[in-house]
A and B are shown apart, each in its own frame.
Chain A
């Protein structure tokens, strides 16, 4: 099976967020970047597990971004992907990213395209859905379990208040949520091998953006915390009832 895993580069989860240029740009100064956790821990690892189970096939990772994304891409290769593709462009919107990957994937006939359920920076969960429409393919989002038997996959998908068990034939797209796989830490051999695995750089196609961020701000902070005596929970209940009006 030919498996493609879309990976994004995001700020580390501990990053303190700030902005530049009159609050119109994210301040990347001093920010540690990582592979989007949903892409790395769940999408990539599940793809690798499938390949190992089938005993054949390839796992390719793809990223849209500039040359300094190569560190993140190499980590994906160290975890076990066979090769990588970087589409050389600044990712300006989810639509732009989806268009680039869809254009590349069209010519390659992948059996399954994996993504994380969302990125932890822009949280749109849009790329998979846009790509699926461009590729005229089924898309199962928020998957927590995937098994493949021949050309048919059985997938558990999380919905509010439950789980759907679905069946779909390849080719399809899938976005992975927690539960799909367990994080893998690259070992020394993987890191050494990653240096020699192919990372192909591909030029971007034209795409225009219909949305743009015009301003960033930090959420309005809480006013000072009101402390309640641990021996007096009646007071807390009264505050929640009369002041906060939530119970």
Chain B
């Protein structure tokens, strides 16, 4: 019996979510009373580092068919490794790769699945984990009755915890099928932390009134080294790119700090952000529903408040 962790990688490095997944895998393995192994498909020169977070073995396979993510090829190989090591639990991050692997692994391993888990397994009554449902408006406990299970872990939920030392990645004998999806190009947005991984997020809504006013929002975000986000109307009006839209029909995020500026806090928006650890709301309307979900509230005109906040942060940083 073992826990197998699929570690996501991109551009020759493990992703942050890989360390979160292996930390989850290690904790789950303690509950199940077994070891945790990790599998890295394609280039990642830091693969051995997974040992520091609890993986007793790290398997790494380099093959032209694995160097880009094709869910079909990756699931095929991960399932073979899971069978070889007798894994009863396969863990991956609930990121763009993990999300497309879970279902395929379920079919290959005849496993029950929980996508986007936010708790460790409870073994009180068989195997159960919780996850957010209704886009963050509720939490459900899922019971998995199969002998094998596949769980993808919600981002920013299990911070990486170093518990051991690095291991030397080793190979494992599997059959690697040919890719059917061809990657022509990867366009990366440089310089900012992607929204789903961001720990600090500065977000603005219709209150900014005009896309020309985005400068003060950007300056606050730059000062904090935060990622920018926006509400749905702002994305729909084309003031900001769609991938910045957070909420029920956009991206769901759970950063450590979410600063909402000029966003009233409609139920659809709250659903996507209410898992944030700390929420600051800046709005001139004291009746804005967002204040009910906030930890800290500032009732004031954003055009006055935001530059003052930026200045105060700069002062704090230099002290």
Contact = CB atoms under 8 A, between A and B. Distances in A.
A219 B274 contact: yes
Interface string B90-107: 000001110111111011
- Chain B, interface size: which category? 35 or more
Given A120-B135, A128-B103, A141-B99, A227 B299 contact: yes
Interface of B: 10, 15, 17, 68-72, 75, 95-97, 99-104, 106-108, 110-116, 125, 128, 131-146, 180-189, 193-194, 196-197, 199-200, 224, 235, 242-243, 245, 248-250, 252, 256-257, 267-268, 271, 274-275, 277-281, 291-301, 304-305, 308-309, 311-313, 315-316
A157 B182 CA distance: 12
Given A129-B101, A226-B295, A236 B188 contact: no
Contacts, number: 283
Nearest to B284: A230
B249 A237 contact: no
Interface stretch (A83-91, A106-114, A196-204, A209-217): A209-217
Contact of B106 (A14, A15, A130): A130
Interface in A117-176: 120-134, 137-142, 144, 154, 157-169, 172
B103 A142 contact: no
Interface of A: 11, 13-17, 19, 37-38, 94-95, 98, 120-134, 137-142, 144, 154, 157-169, 172, 178-179, 209-219, 222-223, 225-231, 233-234, 236-241, 244, 246-247
Contacts of A222: 279, 292-295
A210 B116 contact: no
A126 B115 contact: yes
Interface SS of B by simple majority:
mixed
B95 A160 contact: yes
Contacts of B141: 213-216
